[in-house]
Structure 1
Amino acid sequence: MSFKYPASRPALDGRELEYVTETIRDGWISSQSPVVQRFEEAFAAYHGTVHGVACSSGTAALTLALRALGIGPGDEVIVPEFTFITSAWAVTYTGATPVFVDCGDDLDIDVELIEKKITPRTKAVMPVHVYGRRCDMATIMELAFEYNLRVVEDSAEAHGVRPVGDIACFSLFANKTVTAGEGGVCLTDDPRLARQMAHLRAMATPADHSYLHKNLAYNFRMTGMQAAVALAQVERMDEILATRRTIEKRYDTLLAGIPGLTLMPPRDVLWMYDVRAQQREELRAFLAEASIETRLFFKPMSRQPTYFHPDWRSLNAGRFSEDGLHLPTYTALTEEDQAYVAGKIREFYARAPSGRAVAAHGG
């Protein structure tokens, strides 16, 4: 189904076409293209880090980060219950075991619960900045120091949030703030980790091209054409983030006080505008009829078949997954577009009887 107001839409009105055309004209379309390094340097500099390692996806970025840190069979990595499943999958890909921690009211990992899950096998913690809300990194870094843990930040939805852990991993999928269509990037200040991730993403190819590969590695490389698109996006990050901040504030105003709708806590950067809604499925159907696309919240990791645990319903992550959804969020969204979306939501709750609304901004 095609929507006039999709959940997301990439902003490709910068120099993307120009840079891709240059890349094709120069013949540098593979991962060896100089534009890959230009993108890595620009993205790292924007986030205040030294090294960037571009790769094929956000999932690949997480996998490279964990492998570079030596995570493997027998190890445990603390992962949020409320996240996209690839956060957990990346841990499983290394042979390690993800250990899940429930979320707080802001959907981020509840830092007060982390220490209870640390065991002698715990080697790392993976905070996820869910929907653009930065985790309590000060507390996480204190725990990491106390228990000698490594920190891999899943920043797939938090472009613009400055990393503080060992490695931060970003997704460049088409619905992300900065996109290459597909792609990912790891940021770190550690040159050794950067070299290891770059080595692993390129099949651990020896410098002399002898075809003697000493380590199990991956083909997780980014193409020159992807990097060309991503580089043009980075050049406009200030503008993109500012526009998204305006969109967030508009929604906050337009949606305030609607019975049945709960606004969520503010975001450090806006990825998708998330709300909790009574009669969610009926609301989604009503909005779809008005050509407005919505998306659901993540399911808890303990509800996923790979990691199933019957207690998932007792978790905050389980409760939030039952009534949460995203509204259209993209830089081309106009004030009139947002007024239309908000108007349709008000219309739905004016027509349909709803239960007691919970307090605005979480709860």
Structure 2
Amino acid sequence: MAFTHPVSRPFLTGRELEYVTDAVSGGWISSQGPYVRRFEEAFAAWNGVAHGVACSSGTAALTLALRALGIGPGDEVIVPEFTMIASAWAVTYTGATPVFVDCADDLNIDVTRVEEKITPRTRAIMPVHVYGRRCDMDAIMDIAHQYNLRVVEDSAEAHGVRPVGDIACFSLFANKIITAGEGGVCLTDDPRLAGQLAHLRAMAFTRDHSFLHKKLAYNHRMTAMQGAVALAQVERLDDILAARREIEARYDAALKDIPGITLMPPRDVLWMYDLRAERREELRAHLDARGVETRLFFKPMSRQPGYLDPVWPTLNAHRFSEDGLYLPTHTGLTADDQEYIAGAVREFYTSG
């Protein structure tokens, strides 16, 4: 059905059309032209990081990051149990093995349980800033230094959380805080890693473009049109984050006293407004009938067919996934929209 209040909607109110028109008028429809480079530089600068390398998706960014760090068959990477499956898939794409760690009460990886999963084969930790909550990066970096591990931050849902790992990877999918429709970007302070990321995303061409490819690489380049949209989005990132903080505050105020609803911990940046709900499926049907779209929490990795593990019912990630959902959350959401959505939630729990 067509929802009057969809979960997500892109917020394209800046110079997106102007920049895309300029790119197309100049014939820049592949990865050539100035827009991809300008986006990389602008996003890296906003984050206080030296290098940005744009690519075709957030999943591609994670895969490139792991490959640039030399991770492959025989290696293990620590990955959260509670995350979108792309985090685990990126590890699997390299031939390495994801090793899952359960989540804490904020849905992020439980750092107190990371060390017990480290083996001689462990090469990296992949913290995921779930729904815009920053992981305990101080603790993660301490563990990484102690065991000589690399850190790849999955920041797909956390534009505005400043990177501290070896490489941070962001998604630009249409439902993200900033978007290019599709796309991704890696940030790093290491010029050697930046060079490897750029080399691997573009089929490992040599400088003379002689069609001699010395390693397995990818066609993960971002198009100039995507770069044009992404640049316009970065130019408004401060305003976008501020608007989302207001959206979070309005939801908190409107939902905090509703019986049957459990609010989640505050977010460092708001991607999606997540909560836990009694009689979740009935609530979703009620909201659906009123034009309000919702989404379920992620399914734990050990419930996924590719990583199935019978231990999953004992995990926090399983418990949260059974009653969690998120409400419409996009930058253009108005106070009236939120009043309607919160009112529909309240109606369900108070109408008897």
Q: Could you state the TM-score of these two structures normalised by the residue count of structure 2?
A: 0.99
Residue 331 of structure 1, CA deviation: 1.1
Deviation for aligned residue 1:351: 2.5
Unaligned runs of 5+ in 1: 353-363
Query: What SS does structure 2 have at the residue aligned with 1:156?
Result: coil
In 2, are the aligned partners of 1:178 and 1:230 still within 8 Å (CA)? Answer: yes
**Secondary structure at the counterpart of residue 112 of structure 1:** helix
The residue aligned with 2:110 is 110
**Aligned partner of residue 54 in structure 1, secondary structure:** strand
Could you tell me which residue of structure 1 aligns to residue 228 of structure 2? Answer: 228
Q: Counterpart of 2:99?
A: 99
- Alignment partners' CA distance in 1, 2:310 and 2:96: 22
Give 1:242's aligned residue.
242
SS in 2 for 1:310: coil
Q: Retained in 2: the 8 A contact 1:33–1:223?
A: no
Write the letter of the residue equivalent to 1:310: P
**Following TM superposition, by how much is the alpha carbon of 1:56 offset from its aligned partner in structure 2, in angstroms?**
0.2
Equivalent residue number for residue 261 of structure 2: 261
Structure 2 residue aligned with 1:302: 302
Q: Could you list the runs of 4 or more consecutive aligned residues of structure 1 that deviate by over 4 angstroms after TM superposition? A: none
| Aligned-partner Cα distance in 2 for 1:211–1:116 | 46
Match of 1:329 in 2: 329
The alignment partner of 1:234 has SS state of: helix
User: C-alpha offsets along residues 182-222 of structure 1, whole Å, 9 cap, x if unaligned?
Assistant: 00000000000000000000000111111110000000000
Contact 1:129-1:158 within 8 A present in 2 as well: yes
Residue pairs, 1:138-157, within 5 angstroms: 138-157=138-157
Aligned to 2:178: 178
SS of the aligned residue for 1:53 comes to strand
The one-character-per-residue Cα deviations of 1:98-125 (angstroms, maximum 9, x if unpaired) are: 0000000000000000000000000000
2:147 and 2:250 map into 1 onto residues whose CA distance is: 43
Write the distance in 2 (CA, Å) between the matches of 1:59 and 1:149.
Answer: 21
Contact 1:81 1:101 (C-alpha < 8 Å) held by counterparts = yes
Q: Partner of 1:52: helix, strand, or coil?
A: strand
Query: What SS does structure 1 have at the residue aligned with 2:284?
Result: helix
More displaced, 216-225 or 343-352?
Answer: 343-352
User: Structure 1: how far apart are the matches of 2:116 and 2:108?
Assistant: 17
List alignment gaps of at least 5 residues for structure 2.
Answer: none
Cα separation, 1, equivalents of 2:33 and 2:196: 20
1:290 equivalent in structure 2: 290
Cα deviation digits, residues 12-67 of structure 1 (max 9, x gap) = 01100000000011111111221100000001011110100000000000000000
CA distance in 1, matches of 2:198, 2:39: 14
Partner amino acid, structure 2, of 1:245: R
| Counterpart mapping for 1:9-24 below 5 A | 9-24=9-24
Could you say what secondary structure the match of 1:124 adopts? strand
> Could you tell me which residue of structure 2 aligns to residue 216 of structure 1?
216
Task: Give the Cα–Cα distance (whole angstroms) in 2 for the partners of residues 222 and 5 of structure 1.
Answer: 30
Q: Which residue of 1 aligns with 2:315?
A: 315
- Give how far 1:267 is off: 0.2
Distance (Å, rounded) in 2 between the aligned partners of 1:13 and 1:139: 39
Letter in 2 for 1:89: W
In structure 1, the residue corresponding to 2:332 is in which secondary structure? coil
Deviations 1:310-333 (A, max 9, x none): 111110000000100010001111
CA RMSD of aligned residues (A): 0.5
Q: Determine whether 1:42 maps to 2:19.
A: no
Q: Map Cα deviations across residues 243-295 of structure 1 (whole Å, 9 max, x no partner).
A: 00000000000001111000000000000000000000000000010000000
Percent of counterpart pairs with the same letter?
76
| Whole-angstrom distance in 2 between the partners of 1:25 and 1:229 | 15
- Read off the aligned partner of 1:60 and give its amino acid letter: A
Indicate the larger mover: 26-35 or 294-303: 26-35
Letter of the 1:230 partner, please give it: A
3-state SS, counterpart of residue 302 of structure 1 = helix
Residue in structure 1 matched with residue 201 of structure 2 by the alignment: 201
Partners of 2:143 and 2:40 lie apart in 1 by 30
Matched residue of 2:347: which SS? Answer: helix
CA distance in 1, matches of 2:273, 2:47: 22
- What amino acid sits opposite 2:65 in the alignment? A
2:174 aligned partner, one-letter code = A
- Provide the residue aligned with 2:343 in structure 1: 343
What letter corresponds to residue 129 of structure 2 in structure 1? H
Distance in 2 between residues matched to 1:85 and 1:253, nearest whole Å: 32
